[in-house]
Structure 1
Amino acid sequence: MSIRSDPLERLAIPDGTTVEERDLVTDGDVIVGGQSTVEFGVRGRTVVAGERVTFGNDIEAEGDCRLDMWCDVAGNVLVGEDAYIGERTRIGGQLMVSGDLDIGDDVDIERGFEANGWIVIRNPMPTVVFFFVYLSHLLRIGEEEEAREAAEELLGDAEADEEDEELDPLIVPRGSSVSDDAWRVSKPGVVGDDCRIHGNIRATSLEVGRDNNVFGSLRARGDITVGEGTRVHGDVTTKRGTVRIAPGAEILGDVACEDLSLHDDAAIDGSIRARGEMSIHREFARETE
């Protein structure tokens, strides 16, 4: 897991993430903050969800799956290793666990469950809640290395091979809504490279990487960057920020912004409305963190 300052305070879509029919698919871990709605199913390595998260389809985790209390999963939960299910969680399908099952009180599993390992009935979820609080505290006081080790222990990265450790997680911030219609977050958003995303993306700012296909519009209050070779099937709009469009990018809609920085090898099919400065150039300055 990649630990940066406030890693849970942004929407992070890692390289190669795709939406396949009704499933959100990534090679790495999936972390969903509490009070969020994900109308897709989720397929990833380890899946961690905070309290009162709703999933609209199946969860498939190659490693562990940790669902906090009051979660609601419309479909099946299929877990390759251990599962931790918080109290009063509802699963609309089956729960299938290859390892151990730690399950809270008053959990409703409509089509039954199986676990190949130990089954313990209690409330395990305060561990997950404590993890998020503890991780945030470590980052605030600058203990990034200790925070990284804590995250690796929770998500099972300590036993992963070197290639797996380099995979960034998919992070949905607390209180977000993710669906085929729109991704709505009140935090900054970052999209990696080679992704195929369905839905309009709404965030405070947006940075979209290379060679993506976004079947929807981009909207933010701050800056928006569209990377090389990315195609946006919709409008790109910001209220107060700058839009930067890299070479080979294609916007199949309108662009509205304060300032516009446009590479001459990019294409905009719709109209352009820039209230401030507009520049067209041959070089594209990449921002560094």
Structure 2
Amino acid sequence: MSLRSNPLDELSIPDGTTVEEHDLVTDGDVVIGGRSTIEFGVRGRNVLAGEGVEFGGDIEAEADCRLDMWCDVAGNVLVGRDAYLGERVHVGGQLMVSGDLDIGDDVDIEEGFEANGWIVIRNPMPTIVFLFIYLSQLLRIGEEEAAEELFGQFAESEDPESEPLLIPRNATVSDDAWRVSTPARIGDGCRLHGNVRAESIVVGEDNNIFGSLRAREDILIGSGTRIHGDVTTRNGTVAIADDARVLGDVSCGDLELESGATVDGSMRASGQVELKQDVSREQE
């Protein structure tokens, strides 16, 4: 990832992400931009949330959990290592921390807390804020190689095969809808509930999405994916790969269908309609 790119400029859902009984579950890290509303509970490795994020359930972090100021968690917060809670964070249940607890002023934990390590009461600076302040200083003094090395070390995951779940600022995620004002990218093998609303949408292979897709720009649907709803874009292209199925209507500018794609409802395209043949099948 380039230092000049913003890691939260899209909704990025990694491979294998699922919604299980009102919990959003992923194997990797979860990073949530400020002022977002997550009506699910969240389970991941490290959970990092920006200012004013609201959670509708529990947070379970296998490693660290960092909640910036004014975050609100309706349920419990269970942390496998260290926890960092900013000023005026509210936890509706218990806070259980296996490691150290760094906690800000006026934090409200309704059902008490327990930490096995050190407890420090102050206003901790979120990791992401500290990282970018340090990176900015390195770049300002011309130490680009050192900045690249630091960023690479931060970006390296304990499990390099697990990409983080990234939710941009001001997003809303619920059983009803995933609403963002940025592009959205969904990996492979995911099982999600809710309509997806984004600037553009790319869906990988072998997913089950129980909801519709709506975007201003292009929508791409990978092989083996099932969309249990309509697919709509104002002026963009909808491309549906071989063995993908849309259990609803498709409305778009241009429409591209591979030979094994299926649409159960009506198809309306204001522009071109292209039927693509699978070259590999023809050769067989």
TM-score by shorter chain over 0.5 = yes
Quote the residue 1:230 is aligned against: 225
Contact preservation (8 Å) 1:68, 1:128: no
Task: Look up the equivalent residue of 2:22 and give its one-letter code.
Answer: R
**Which of 202, 212, 229 is the aligned partner of 1:217?**
212
**Which of 256, 263, 266 is the aligned partner of 2:261?**
266
Task: Look up the equivalent residue of 2:186 and give its one-letter code.
Answer: V
Quote the residue 2:282 is aligned against: none
RMSD: 2.4
Task: Look up the equivalent residue of 1:51 and give its one-letter code.
Answer: E
Contact preservation (8 Å) 2:99, 2:118: yes
Structure-2 separation of matches of 1:94 and 1:267:
48
- Deviation of residue 283 (structure 1)? 3.4
- Deviation of residue 89 (structure 1)? 0.4
Task: Look up the equivalent residue of 1:226 and give its one-letter code.
Answer: I
Structure-2 separation of matches of 1:107 and 1:17:
31
Quote the residue 2:182 is aligned against: 187
- Deviation of residue 150 (structure 1)? 3.5
Task: Look up the equivalent residue of 2:103 and give its one-letter code.
Answer: I
SS in 1 for 2:48: strand
Contact preservation (8 Å) 1:3, 1:148: no
Structure-1 separation of matches of 2:105 and 2:156:
25
- Deviation of residue 129 (structure 1)? 3.1
Task: Look up the equivalent residue of 1:240 and give its one-letter code.
Answer: N
Structure-1 separation of matches of 2:93 and 2:25:
20
Structure-2 separation of matches of 1:233 and 1:217:
7
Contact preservation (8 Å) 1:138, 1:144: no
Structure-2 separation of matches of 1:156 and 1:91:
30
Structure 2 CA distance for partners of 1:235 and 1:61, relative to 1, 3 Å = same
- Deviation of residue 136 (structure 1)? 8.8
Question: TM-score of the superposition, structure 2-length normalised?
Answer: 0.91
Q: Does residue 131 of structure 1 match 2:126?
A: no
SS in 1 for 2:151: helix
Quote the residue 1:84 is aligned against: 84
Contact preservation (8 Å) 2:66, 2:126: no
SS in 2 for 1:165: coil
Task: Look up the equivalent residue of 1:81 and give its one-letter code.
Answer: R
Question: TM-score of the superposition, structure 1-length normalised?
Answer: 0.89
Task: Look up the equivalent residue of 1:252 and give its one-letter code.
Answer: L
Task: Look up the equivalent residue of 2:18 and give its one-letter code.
Answer: T
Quote the residue 2:160 is aligned against: 165
The superposition leaves residues 134-158 of structure 1 with CA deviations (integer Å, 9 ceiling, x where unpaired) of 679999x9x69845743744x784x
Contact preservation (8 Å) 1:74, 1:92: yes
Structure 2, unmatched stretches of 5+, are 280-284
Structure 2 CA distance for partners of 1:156 and 1:193, relative to 1, 3 Å = closer
The superposition leaves residues 148-187 of structure 1 with CA deviations (integer Å, 9 ceiling, x where unpaired) of 743744x784xx2xxx023110000001000000000000
Quote the residue 1:207 is aligned against: 202
The superposition leaves residues 226-270 of structure 1 with CA deviations (integer Å, 9 ceiling, x where unpaired) of 000000000000001000000000000000000000012110000
Contact preservation (8 Å) 2:40, 2:57: yes
Contact preservation (8 Å) 1:45, 1:64: yes
The superposition leaves residues 187-221 of structure 1 with CA deviations (integer Å, 9 ceiling, x where unpaired) of 00000000000000000000000000000000000
Contact preservation (8 Å) 1:85, 1:125: no
Structure-1 separation of matches of 2:202 and 2:258:
16
Structure-2 separation of matches of 1:156 and 1:119:
28
Task: Look up the equivalent residue of 1:194 and give its one-letter code.
Answer: G
Structure 1, unmatched stretches of 5+, are 285-289
Quote the residue 2:151 is aligned against: 150
Structure 2 CA distance for partners of 1:3 and 1:200, relative to 1, 3 Å = farther
Alignment length (residue pairs): 276
